[in-house]
Structure 1
Amino acid sequence: MNRRKLLGGLLAGASVPALAACGGGITSLKGDGGSGGSGGGSSVGGLVIGTANFTENQLLGYLYAEALKGAGIKTNVRPNLGSREIVIPALQQGDIDLLPEYQGNLLLHFDDKAPQTEAGDLQNALTVALPGGLEALSYAAAEDKDVFCVTREAAREYGLRSFADLAKQNGKLVFGGPAEDKNRVVGLVGLKNRYGVTFKEFKALDASGPLVKGALKKGDVDVANLFSTDPDIEANDWVILADPKALIPAQHIVPVVRSAKADAKVRKALARLGGALTTQELARLNKLVSNDKKDPDRVAADWAAKNGLTKE
C-alpha cells in the first residue's frame, strides 16, 4: 500500500459536507422518524453502539465498547440490529451513535459506482460520500473482505478458480448469501455487470453464518458469500475464488460515528483499538466466538485488557 495514501486514510475523519444521501428504508428503530443530531462533538452522556446481524460485527461492537470504557466513556451496545440497510438509517436518525463498518462495502452503499478499491482512496471517498452528521474515523489494521467460496470438489468439477470461471457455468449454479446480496454490487449485481455471471438460483440465507455454510456443505448452494476471517473456510478446505477485476474493494474495519458524539476522547480510544487490532487477531477472536461458543462481550473484554485498552 502507498504509505502516503495510508497516512491520508488514517488521518481522514473531519466532517465533510455530504454529496450523497442514504436511500429509502427504515428511518428509525423507534419507528417514529427519530431525530438526527449535530453539534461540536461530545461523548458526555455516553454512546450507544449498534451492530449488524452477524457474529464478527457484534464482536467489534463490544471491542468498541471496551476501548471507550477504558477512556472513561459510558457505552451501551445494541447488538444484532440487522443489515446495513437498517443500521445506517438508525445511525443517521440518532437511534445509535456508533457502528463498526467495512470501508469498501460502506462506500458502495452510498455510491454503487465508486471506483476506489485501495484503503487510503476508500477512506478519502468516504469523507465525501457519508451523509452530513456522520464521520468515518481512523480505520483499523484489521480487514475482513467478502469472499465467494466453493467446495474443493466443485472447484475441480466445474474448473472454478476465479469469478471469471463462473461465467462458463451460467445458469447452472446456485448462489447463497444474505438476502441483500441479490441487489448489492458486492453480490449478484457486480458479478453480472463486471464478469457476466448469472446463476440458476439465488438462496437468501445469512452472512457467513450457519445457514449458508451448512448449505455449502450439503451442496444446496454451489457458491457461498463468506467472510475472509471465517475460520471455517480453512477448516473445510473451501476454495476462495480469485477476483482479477477487483469487484470486491478493501474492507478495513472503520468506525462510523455521529459527529455530535465524536470528541477527542472517542477518536483517540478508537484509533488505539484500530492500531492494535490486526486481521490475524480478528480471525482468532472470531473463532473463539463462532467455534468455541464463547460470549462476544467476554472475548472482547479479555482481549481489550490483554492489549492495554482498558486504561488510558
Structure 2
Amino acid sequence: MHTLTRRDAWLRLTLLPAILLLIAALVAGCFDPLSRAGSRDPDPNHIVVGSGGVLESQIIGQIYIDALEANGFTVENQLNSGTRERYLPALRSGDIDLVPDYIGNLMQYLASTAPGLTEDRIAEYSALTSLEDIEQALPSVEGDDLLTYTPAPGSNSDSVTVTQKSADKWNLRSIEDLARVSQTEKVSFMANSEFATREVGVPGLERNYGLKVDFRPNNDSGGQATINELTSGRVTAADIYTTTPAITTEDLVVLDDPKHNFPANNIVPVLAKSKDSPKLRAVLDAVSSKLTVEELRNLNELVSGKEKLEVEDAAKRWVEAQNLNKALGS
C-alpha cells in the first residue's frame, strides 16, 4: 500500500488549489453572457444593455449606459453582443433588454424572420426606404415582445459622396445634380463590388435618378482606400457611409437623396417590451435627439481618429458635453 510522503502531501495541497483556479478561469473564459435565456429581471429599473460588434454601435450602447445610470437605473453592460442574428434573439429570450440598432437594416431583418409573412409582404417591407415608411411599418414585424423608441436624426446609410471641389465645379447638392452631369461627363463611381447589382446600388441610382456611372469596385466598404481614390480625383464619387469621420475631416460632400434610393438607417433603441416605461423612454429619447449625423461622425473620430479614445472614454466625454450625465430636469 502506497503511503503519501510529506513531499507528496505538500504537492497536493499546493497544486490542487492552483489547478482548480485554472479550471475556473478557463470555464469563465468560455462563459457566454448571452446564454441565460429566460433570466430577465422583471424590475423595470434594471436594464441589460447590449450592442452590435461595430465600434459605433458599442459607443452608442455605452452612451445609453451612462445616461441611464445618471437617471437612477441599475445597468448591466453586455456590449459587443455579436451580429443582429445573435443579439436580437438574445433580446427576445431575456439575455439583454436594450440595444441600439439601425432602423433600415432592422426592418429588413425583422421582415425576413417574422412568422407568417408571405414572400410578397416580406419583399414589400424590405423595399421600404424612407424613414417615415419604415417607422410606420416596423410595429407590424416587431412581434409582441419587442418595441422601438423614437429614432435619432443621425443615419448611418450608404451615400453618393463627392469632394467639395467637384460640388463647387458642378454646383452639386443632390444626386439629381450629379445625374445631370452624367449625361455629358464621365462619372466614375467607387463602391463594394456588390453595389453594381444591389437594388439600391447602381441599378437604383439609374432607375431613380438617371445617374449613369463608370463603376469601379473596391471592397473596403468606403474605407481609406476608397476615400484616397476620391480625394485624389481618380474617381468622381463614392459610396461612403454617412457617419464616416472623413466626410468632415477630408471636406467631402454627401449629396442629398430626395427620392430615398438608400434606405434610412437612423439609430433607434430596440428593447424588450416588458421593460418599457415612461422614464426609460424619456432618457433614451433625450439621448437620441442629440445623435445627429455630425455628432456620430465626431464620436467615431474620437475612437478611430488621432485621439484613439476607448469606447468608454468617448461616450463619457460626449454624455458630459450634452449634459446627459445628470438626471433629466435637474
Aligned to 1:290: 304
Using the TM superposition, give the Cα deviation of residue 236 of structure 1 relative to its aligned residue in structure 2, in angstroms: 2.1
Deviation digits for residues 162-193 of structure 1, max 9, x if unmatched?
Answer: 5454675999845325x885776544563355
Distance 1:187 1:88 in 2: 27
Tell me which amino acid in the other structure corresponds to 2:159: V
Residue 277 (structure 1) shift: 4.0
One-letter amino acid matched to 2:250: N
String of CA shifts for 1:93-128, please: whole Å, max 9, x gaps.
65644222233443355322226x254x54232222
- Contact in 2 for aligned 1:108/1:185 (Cα 8 Å): no
The alpha-carbon deviation at position 261 of structure 1 amounts to 3.7
Letter paired with 2:82: L
Structural mapping, 1:62-77, within 5 Å: 62-70=62-70, 71-77=72-78
Pick aligned residue for 1:175 from 190, 205, 211 = 190
Describe the shift of the 1:36–1:218 C-alpha distance in structure 2 as closer, same or farther (beyond 3 A).
Answer: farther
* 1:136 Cα offset (Å): 0.9
The residue number in structure 2 matching 1:255 is: 269
Provide the C-alpha distance between the structure 1 equivalents of 2:87 and 2:231, rounded to a whole number of angstroms: 30
2:9 match: none
Distance 2:85 2:232 in 1: 30
Shift of 1:298: 0.6
2:80 alignment partner in structure 1: 79
Whole-angstrom CA distance in 2 between matches of 1:306 and 1:189:
42
Is 1:137 matched with 2:149?
yes
Give distance in 1, aligned partners of 2:304 and 2:292.
18
1:216-231 maps to which residues of 2 (within 5 A)? 216-217=230-231, 223-231=237-245
Read off the aligned partner of 1:81 and give its amino acid letter: G
Judged with a 3 Å threshold, the aligned counterparts in structure 2 of structure 1 residues 97 and 247 are, in CA distance, closer, same or farther, namely same
Partners of 1:97 and 1:169 lie apart in 2 by: 53
Give the Cα–Cα distance (whole angstroms) in 2 for the partners of residues 170 and 93 of structure 1.
Answer: 54
3-state DSSP of counterpart to 2:159: strand
Which structure has the greater CA radius of gyration?
2
For residues 65 and 229 of structure 1, what CA distance do their matches in structure 2 show?
21
Query: Who is 2:218 aligned against?
Result: 203
Shift of 1:194: 3.2
Structure with higher RCO (Cα < 8 A, 6+ apart): 1
Change (3 A) 1:170 1:50: farther
CA distance in 2, matches of 1:184, 1:253: 23
> SS of the residue aligned with 2:51?
strand
CA contact (8 A) 1:38 1:133 kept: no
Question: Is the CA contact 2:38–2:95 (under 8 Å) kept in the aligned structure 1?
Answer: no
Q: Would you say how many aligned residue pairs link Structure 1 and Structure 2?
A: 276
CA distance change for structure 1 residues 210 and 60 in 2, over 3 Å: closer, same or farther?
A: farther
Which AA in structure 1 matches 2:218?
A: K
- Kept in 2: contact 1:37–1:93 (CA 8 A): yes
RMSD over equivalenced CA pairs, Å: 4.3
Matched, 1:235 2:249: yes
1:61 has 2:61 as partner: yes
The C-alpha deviation readout for 1:182-210, integer Å capped at 9, x for no partner, is 7765445633553465764533323x544
TM-score normalised per structure 2: 0.63
After superposition, the Cα gap between the structure-2 partners of 1:182 and 1:41, relative to the gap in structure 1 and judged at 3 Å, is: farther
Give the 3 Å change call, closer, same or farther, for CA 268–203 of structure 1 in structure 2.
Answer: same
Query: 1:69, 1:75 within 8 Å by CA — same for their partners in 2?
Result: no
Q: Which is helix-richer, 1 or 2?
A: 2
Q: Is the contact made by 1:37 and 1:258 (CA closer than 8 Å) also made in structure 2?
A: no
Name 1:107's counterpart in structure 2. 107
Query: Is the Cα contact below 8 Å between 2:187 and 2:236 reproduced in 1?
Result: no
Report the counterpart of residue 10 of structure 1 in structure 2.
none
Report which stretch shifted further, 183-192 or 269-278: 183-192
* TM-score, length-scaled by structure 1: 0.66
Structure 1 gap ranges (5+): 1-29
Q: Write the letter of the residue equivalent to 1:248.
A: F
- C-alpha displacement of 1:227: 3.3
Query: Percent identity over the alignment?
Result: 30
- Hey, what does 1:14 align to over in structure 2? none
Distance 1:304 1:185, change over 3 A: farther
Question: Residue deviations 1:27-60, cap 9 Å, x none?
Answer: xxx99x978769996446541311242x433321
| Counterpart position of 1:149 | 161
Contact preservation (8 Å) 2:148, 2:268: yes
